[in-house]
Copies of this chain bind each other. A is one copy, B any other.
């Protein structure tokens, strides 16, 4: 814990809690944070990597596509955001002509958010561009490693989703 240390990679010291069989956990914790920081960094400059839609726009459009005509609160729940926040996003995207709000036949308080033709086309283009970025990023990887990462990440997301609905909570 000394201040003058200059080790760039973590080396277990006497102060570390060592759990037998879980020696990789300290590395995993570090790599998870590193990964998150990197994703956030790149997300900020989405246009600089050839994407036409920023992260929030793509997220909203994807959710509407997956859900079909959607109520605001359902979108908010799927996105993990407050309804007021999503309302702002939707308003902005409606001004851009990417989606529109139609009356909800079942509830006159609500409206249903749907994609416009432009929104659907832009989403489709961007989705393919994002997949191509992933392909290029991992172009030097063995296909098996990439598939294993896909599988583990899918399981991890499922695990985290489960934890959210349980008495326990999660990492950052």
Contacts and interface: CB of A to CB of B under 8 A. Distances in A.
Contacts of A19: 135
Interface residues of A, number: 89
Contact of A46 (B42, B157, B172): B172
Given A33-B55, A136-B168, 9 more contacts: A3-B114, A26-B131, A28-B150, A29-B127, A38-B157, A134-B171, A140-B159, A149-B152, A149-B156
Nearest to A169: B49
B131 A17 contact: yes
Q: Is chain A's interface secondary structure helix, strand, loop, or mixed overall?
A: helix
Interface of A: 1, 3-8, 10, 15-17, 19, 21-22, 24-29, 31-43, 46, 48-51, 54-55, 58-59, 62, 65-69, 79-80, 114-115, 120, 124, 127-128, 130-131, 133-138, 140-141, 143, 145-157, 159-161, 163, 168-172
